[in-house]
Structure 1
Amino acid sequence: MTAQANALPLLSDRLAVAYQPMWQPDRVLLGTSMALLLIGLVMIGSASIDVSEQTFGVPHHFVLRHAVYMVLGFGLAYLVSAVPLRLWQSFSWLLLVLAMVLLVLVLIPGIGREVKGSWRWIDLGPVGFQPSELGKVAMILYVASYLVRRRDEVISRLSGFVKPLLVMSVMVVLLLLEPDFGTVVVVIGTILGMLFLGGVKAGQFFLAVLAAAGAVTLMAFAQSYRVQRLLSFMDPWSEENVYGSGYQLTQSLIAFGRGEWFGVGLGNSMQKLFYLPEAHNDFILAIIGEELGLVGVMVVLGLFTALIYRMFAIGRLAEQKGYLFGAFVSYGIAMLFSIQIFINVGVNTGLLPTKGLTLPFVSAGGTSLLVCMALVALVNRVYGETLRMSAKGAK
């Protein structure tokens, strides 16, 4: 009895240590994230006043909704940072299965909800949930775990490279059925990048890149509306496109043009007055360009650059300390953000065809915001555990 009684406090102490959040925050990581969150909150408030007034009869519906999701995001980030990475590694396959099941359920009428021709949302009472956001996270964790478990096979054998691609292809098919072409591109780019950093042979990697590029091109021309977007992207100012499929792009470019160097002033955008659709969401960067000018846009891009650089640096630190799972998780999350930011900025500025992808931390969006905040917490957990392992090794 005495031994058992003494063992219980020891067990509870170990659990408390294992599940406590990493209170060794990386200042650059969390500082840039917080700055982007605050910029997003202010710009959503500015960009959505009129559309909120018309849709809901109140001027601050979208910004208040975003603020609520921010509060929920801080809670989720706390929970994520409290879970040891070894548990994320052990149960990554279960999270992937859950994501796959949800991606199937979202396609079922009555469970999934159709929005603008796409089945991407599951209603959860007053809020909606987007399974594709969970799918991106699940794929990163699963592939990071796979690269650790099958490291020798990944480096030396073709099968080690092909197996995760087969798993990814299942998710890609489910995403195309929604359809969600933008997320497909993000997932493919992220996973291929992780596999490259995981040590696959260069020849195999470049062949996979060529195959993926060919597949994406075929998918882009498989649907007439995608073809129309590509045509309007080539000449958005033509008479048949300027008020049609090229309308969003032309209005976005007008917003950037009006902003010039320093912008027309916060709250003074004209394009948000029902000229530019999705001004508070996918095209919020254009409103930033109009109201805060090129300087404001460069500040936002500078914050993103610092955030992504720090994620890669944390991954590199973890790899140097032999903490491979943490390294691959950090690399994967950094690449996920990089690709999504590149696509959103490219769409807003006319460098890429129009595609609906949010700007992380800044665009209005519930599930996207929660996932972005959770991913930052996960990278910060990698940083904390790496420091703790280094401290133990020094002793």
Structure 2
Amino acid sequence: MSRVDKKSYKAVSHLNDGDAFEWVLPFCVLALASIGVIMVASASIAFAADVYSDPWYFLKRHLVFLAAGAIGALVVSRISLETWSNLSWTLLIFAVGLLVLVLIPGVGRSVNGSMRWIALGPITVQPAEVAKFCCLIFFASFLTRRHEKLRHWSSFMVPISVLGFVAILLLLEPDFGSVVVISGTALAMVFLAGARLPHTFLLVGLAACGLALMALISPYRLQRLTTFLDPWGEQFSGGYQLTQSLIAFGRGEWFGVGLGNSVQKLFYLPEAHTDFVFAILAEEWGMLGGLTVIGLYALFTWSLLRLVKKALAQQAFFAALLTFGIAVLIAGQAFVNMGVASGLLPTKGLTLPFVSSGGSSLVVCCALFAVAWRVQKELNEVPGEQKAGGTISKLPIFNPLQLGDRKTGEAA
């Protein structure tokens, strides 16, 4: 075998290295979803029995949305990446329309002082969750098609302007947590796409200053920040949720008090089955259970990053950017949720992906998993066997690892 043939053989073998790990992605999702079903049932049973006279009310609701998410994932997984790329602007306009619609009095539904939901008969839709999915598609498609000009301010500011407009609409709801997650994901994707370092660092600095300023000038956000620094000083007012969550962590110790034996879910910890479900899990399953969930998210993220590496090796840049965005968004949201519950971060209204009770969030997470599954499927196809007009062959290709000098913007 010649030296060239050996190199080609090694390259092909390298591209197929991830085939043995195809099971990791669905395994993590199924494991997290199963844990979610158990924890939603356990965390909500007392509250549901008292408010709805049905201890399994939230479990039934969660199972309905999980079934809807599974059906939606099946549909999404059958749509090619090229189709998603072509629909990017349509999806962005749809998302912006929903974000505007939810702010209209009489259309948007106010809960706890926030206009975040649109009622559609017996169900409610949270536009911020839909916006996460649509923005990922848009940014991945735009950055793929405009990567050659991304190092110039004119092209660099287009996705940033879109991000800023979406962030303003989210802040009007207000939904500060979604702004942080979407902004962080978009900036990470822009960096991977090859934006110049000075542009990226300047933007990150401006975004951080802007978010800090909004937190300081808003009374309730400033109160959350001060109570986060010393929750026990206001344990019966602004720091109530955090102190009750920390008590749950303390009661759990190493191995937990046992499934169903949580005390904090008995009207001590608000939002026990949604934003603070991880605290109840830590109380009932202990540190071991908490580390297991963290490990599943880490494994999920690792699996997605393997897909990113494989996509870059095949020069499928849209697939790489989209998968990278999904990894950052899911991992970032999980980190924020668990960080809030454990007192590492100030309180934010974000659910734990695949685990918390929340219809829109659960369905969108299932859709994101389906997109990642589609990426894995298309990357595993042999190039010669791809259909005419296949995604990987038609979309613009670009490897950010071959950029050259990010500082000067000169090609290698």
* Fold in common (TM above 0.5): yes
Shift of 1:243: 0.4
Name 1:373's counterpart in structure 2. Answer: 366
Alignment match of 1:211 (pick from 206, 209, 220): 206
Distance 1:26 1:245 in 2: 45
Distance 1:390 1:27 in 2: 22
Number of aligned residue pairs: 367
2:311 is the alignment partner of 1:318: yes
2:215 is the alignment partner of 1:220: yes
| SS of equivalent to 2:251 | helix
2:116 is the alignment partner of 1:116: no
Q: Deviations over 1:206-233 (max 9, x none)?
A: 1111111001101111210111111111
| SS of equivalent to 1:142 | helix
2:38 is the alignment partner of 1:45: no
Distance 2:35 2:332 in 1: 21
Name 1:359's counterpart in structure 2. Answer: 352
2:170 is the alignment partner of 1:175: yes
| SS of equivalent to 1:113 | strand
Equivalent AA in structure 2 for residue 329 of structure 1 = L
2:201 is the alignment partner of 1:195: no
Equivalent AA in structure 2 for residue 375 of structure 1 = L
Equivalent AA in structure 1 for residue 264 of structure 2 = Q
Distance 1:281 1:252 in 2: 13
Distance 2:333 2:287 in 1: 21
Name 1:92's counterpart in structure 2. Answer: 88
Distance 2:280 2:24 in 1: 26
Identity fraction in percent: 49
2:132 is the alignment partner of 1:160: no
Equivalent AA in structure 1 for residue 261 of structure 2 = N
Q: Deviations over 1:32-85 (max 9, x none)?
A: 000000000001100100000011001000011001111111100000001111
Shift of 1:387: 1.0
Shift of 1:392: 3.6
Equivalent AA in structure 2 for residue 161 of structure 1 = F
Q: Deviations over 1:152-178 (max 9, x none)?
A: 001x31222211000111101100110
Equivalent AA in structure 2 for residue 348 of structure 1 = A
TM-score by length of 2: 0.88
Alignment of 1:132-151 (within 5 A): 132-151=128-147
Distance 2:239 2:383 in 1: 54
Distance 2:104 2:196 in 1: 40
Change (3 A) 1:52 1:391: farther
2:256 is the alignment partner of 1:263: yes
Distance 2:100 2:119 in 1: 14
Confirm or deny: 8 A CA contact 1:26 1:380 kept in the other structure: no
Name 1:12's counterpart in structure 2. Answer: none
Alignment match of 2:335 (pick from 342, 348, 354): 342
Name 1:185's counterpart in structure 2. Answer: 180
Structure 1: 5+ residue runs without aligned partners?
1-23
Distance 1:226 1:157 in 2: 36
Alignment of 1:38-77 (within 5 A): 38-77=34-73
Distance 1:147 1:170 in 2: 18
Q: Deviations over 1:208-261 (max 9, x none)?
A: 1111100110111121011111111111111xx110010000000000000000
Distance 1:50 1:25 in 2: 40
2:241 is the alignment partner of 1:248: yes
Confirm or deny: 8 A CA contact 1:265 1:291 kept in the other structure: yes
Shift of 1:148: 1.1
Name 2:376's counterpart in structure 1. Answer: 383
RMSD of the alignment, in Å?
A: 1.2
Equivalent AA in structure 2 for residue 44 of structure 1 = V
Distance 1:371 1:286 in 2: 23
Distance 2:26 2:363 in 1: 15
Confirm or deny: 8 A CA contact 1:47 1:280 kept in the other structure: yes
Name 1:34's counterpart in structure 2. Answer: 30
Name 2:103's counterpart in structure 1. Answer: 107
| SS of equivalent to 1:119 | strand
Equivalent AA in structure 2 for residue 205 of structure 1 = T
Structure 2: 5+ residue runs without aligned partners?
1-19, 387-412
Confirm or deny: 8 A CA contact 1:25 1:384 kept in the other structure: no
Shift of 1:96: 0.5
| SS of equivalent to 1:193 | helix
TM-score by length of 1: 0.91
